[in-house]
C-alpha cells in the first residue's frame, strides 16, 4: 500500500518525499495478485493470507479501502484470511465491524514505542494509551493482533525499548515485528542526524538489544514474525545511516547462541568441547564469517558442532 496522502510526518518516514510518485494499487491489481498467488500456491492457499501492507490501511480514503476489500470477496474462501497494518488511532468499532464483514483476520498496529515522549518527539501523532485502547478493541472483536515496534528512535534508549517490549507483553499480542531505526533521506531524522542531534545505534548495539527482545518475546510465547527491515529499492537509494543488515534476525540469533555457549563454558576449563544443535541452527552458532567460532577461540574454547534433530530450535546441548 502506498503512503500517499498520509497527514502525519513521523520523524523516520519519507512519505512526503514520495507522495504522488508511488503507484496506488487498484482493485484490478488486487485481483491479479490474488490470481497469481492462487496459480502459484495451488491448494496451499488455505495456509496463506491476503495482506495489505506498507501504509495505514484503515486511514486511507474509505471508498478506496472498501474497493480493495471488495476485490478480495470472490476469493476469500480459498484463503486463510486477510491481514492489514494500520495506525493505532485509526481503529474504532465502525472500522472493526467493516473489517470483520470483509473477513479480515489479522490487524497489525504500528505502535513503534510505548513511551509518550518518544512518540511525541518522533511526531507519531498518537499516544501509548491509543495503542492500549485499540489493541483491546481489536482483541475484543476476535482479530489476531500484531504489534510493531522500532528500536533506537530519536530520544529512545535500550531501557525505553525494553520497556516497550514489556508493555507489549502485557497487551499479549499474537505477533510482533521489530524494526531497528534507519535514517532515510528527506526525513526529520536526517536533519537531526546531520546536525549531530540524533545518533542512530550501531549495528552491534542494535543486535545486542534486539537479541534480548527476541528472547523476551520468546519466553512469553509471542511470535516475532519480523526482525529487521526488508530490503527494498527505497532502502537502497534513500538510507543514509542506521542499523540495517539483510540478515539482521540471523545476527541476533547468532548472538543468542553465542551467549548460551559462553555462559555454559565460562566456568569450564579452556579446551575443546562438543555441542549439539538443531540442523537449522548450525550456521547461526558458527556466526556470520565464523564470528562466534573465532570469538570463542580467542577466549580459549574450540567447538565441535554436531547437528542433531532432537535438539530444539535455538537450544544447545553439550556432550
Candidate segments 9-17, 38-46, 193-201, 295-303, binder of ligand SF4 by CB under 6 A:
9-17
Shortest spacing between CB 163 and ligand SF4, in angstroms: 21
Candidate segments 2-10, 144-152, 206-214, 223-231, binder of ligand SF4 by CB under 6 A:
2-10
> Taking CB under 6 A as the rule, does residue 10 contact ligand SF4?
yes
Q: Which of residues 186 and 216 has its CB atom nearest to ligand SF4 in the complex?
A: 186
Shortest spacing between CB 128 and ligand SF4, in angstroms: 16
Strands 271-277 and 317-318, sheet pairing:
antiparallel
Shortest spacing between CB 260 and ligand SF4, in angstroms: 36
Grid coordinates of 215: 528472547
Candidate segments 7-15, 39-47, 156-164, 283-291, binder of ligand SF4 by CB under 6 A:
7-15
Shortest spacing between CB 90 and ligand SF4, in angstroms: 9
- Other CB atoms within 10 A of residue 148 CB: 19
**Count of CA atoms in the C-beta half-sphere (13 A) of 194:** 9
Strands 104-112 and 81-86, sheet pairing:
parallel
Q: Which of residues 41-60 bind ligand SF4 (CB under 6 A)?
A: 55-56
> Taking CB under 6 A as the rule, does residue 87 contact ligand SF4?
yes
> Taking CB under 6 A as the rule, does residue 9 contact ligand SF4?
yes
Candidate segments 8-16, 17-25, 189-197, 221-229, binder of ligand SF4 by CB under 6 A:
8-16
- Dihedral, 152, 156, 159, 162 alpha carbons, nearest 10: -60
Q: How far is CA 194 from CA 118, 180, 185, 191, 237, in A?
A: 20, 19, 11, 5, 17
* Dihedral over Cα of 196, 148, 211, 282: its sign: negative
Show Cβ contacts of residue 247 under 8 Å, excluding neighbours closer than 6 positions: 228, 288
Judged by CB under 6 A, which of 1, 6, 95, 286 binds ligand SF4?
6
3-class SS shares of the chain: helix, strand, coil, % to 5: 50, 20, 35
Show Cβ contacts of residue 308 under 8 Å, excluding neighbours closer than 6 positions: 276, 277, 278, 279, 317
What one-character DSSP code corresponds to residue 109?
A: E
What one-character DSSP code corresponds to residue 240?
A: E
Candidate segments 6-14, 67-75, 221-229, 310-318, binder of ligand SF4 by CB under 6 A:
6-14
Q: Which of residues 10 and 30 has its CB atom nearest to ligand SF4 in the complex?
A: 10
Judged by CB under 6 A, which of 1, 3, 193, 253 binds ligand SF4?
3
Q: How many residues bind ligand SF4 (CB under 6 A)?
A: 10
Q: Which of residues 23 and 267 has its CB atom nearest to ligand SF4 in the complex?
A: 23
**Where do contacts with ligand SF4 occur on this chain (CB under 6 A)?**
3, 6, 8-10, 13, 15, 55-56, 87
Amino acid at each position: 500500500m502506498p503512503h500517499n496522502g498520509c497527514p502525519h510526518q513521523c520523524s523516520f518516514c519519507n512519505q512526503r518525499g514520495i507522495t504522488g510518485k508511488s503507484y496506488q494499487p487498484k482493485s484490478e491489481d488486487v485481483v491479479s495478485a490474488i490470481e497469481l498467488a492462487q496459480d502459484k500456491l495451488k491448494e496451499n492457499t488455505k495456509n496463506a493470507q491476503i495482506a495489505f501492507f506498507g501504509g495505514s490501511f484503515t486511514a486511507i480514503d474509505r471508498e478506496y479501502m472498501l474497493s480493495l476489500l471488495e476485490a478480495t470477496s470472490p476469493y476469500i474462501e480459498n484463503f486463510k484470511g486477510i491481514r492489514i497494518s494500520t495506525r493505532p488511532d485509526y481503529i474504532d468499532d465502525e472500522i472493526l465491524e467493516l473489517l470483520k464483514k470483509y473477513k479480515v483476520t489479522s490487524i497489525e498496529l504500528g505502535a513503534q514505542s510505548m513511551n509518550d515522549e518518544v512518540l511525541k518527539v518522533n511526531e507519531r501523532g498518537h499516544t501509548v494509551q491509543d495503542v492500549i485502547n485499540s489493541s483491546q478493541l481489536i482483541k475484543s472483536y476476535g482479530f489476531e493482533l500484531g504489534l510493531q515496534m522500532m528500536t533506537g528512535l530519536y530520544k529512545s534508549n535500550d531501557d525505553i525499548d525494553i520497556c516497550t517490549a514489556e508493555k507489549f507483553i502485557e497487551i499479549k499480542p499474537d505477533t510482533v515485528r521489530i524494526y531497528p531505526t534507519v535514517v532515510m533521506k528527506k526525513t526529520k531524522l536526517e536533519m537531526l542526524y546531520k546536525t549531530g542531534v540524533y545518533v542512530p545505534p550501531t549495528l552491534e548495539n542494535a543486535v545486542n538489544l534486539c537479541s534480548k527482545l527476541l528472547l523476551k518475546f520468546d519466553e512469553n510465547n509471542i511470535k516475532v514474525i519480523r526482525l529487521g527491515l526488508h530490503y527494498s529499492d527505497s532502502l537502497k537509494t534513500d538510507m543514509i545511516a542506521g542499523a540495517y543488515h539483510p540478515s539482521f534476525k540471523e545476527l541476533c540469533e547468532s548472538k543468542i547462541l553465542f551467549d548460551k555457549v559462553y555462559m555454559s563454558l565460562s566456568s569450564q576449563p579452556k579446551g575443546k568441547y562438543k555441542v549439539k544443535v538443531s540442523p537449522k541452527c548450525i550456521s547461526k552458532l558458527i556466526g556470520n564469517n565464523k564470528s562466534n567460532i573465532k570469538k570463542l577461540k580467542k577466549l580459549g574454547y574450540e567447538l565441535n558442532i554436531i547437528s542433531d534433530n532432537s535438539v530444539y530450535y535455538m537450544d544447545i546441548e553439550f556432550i
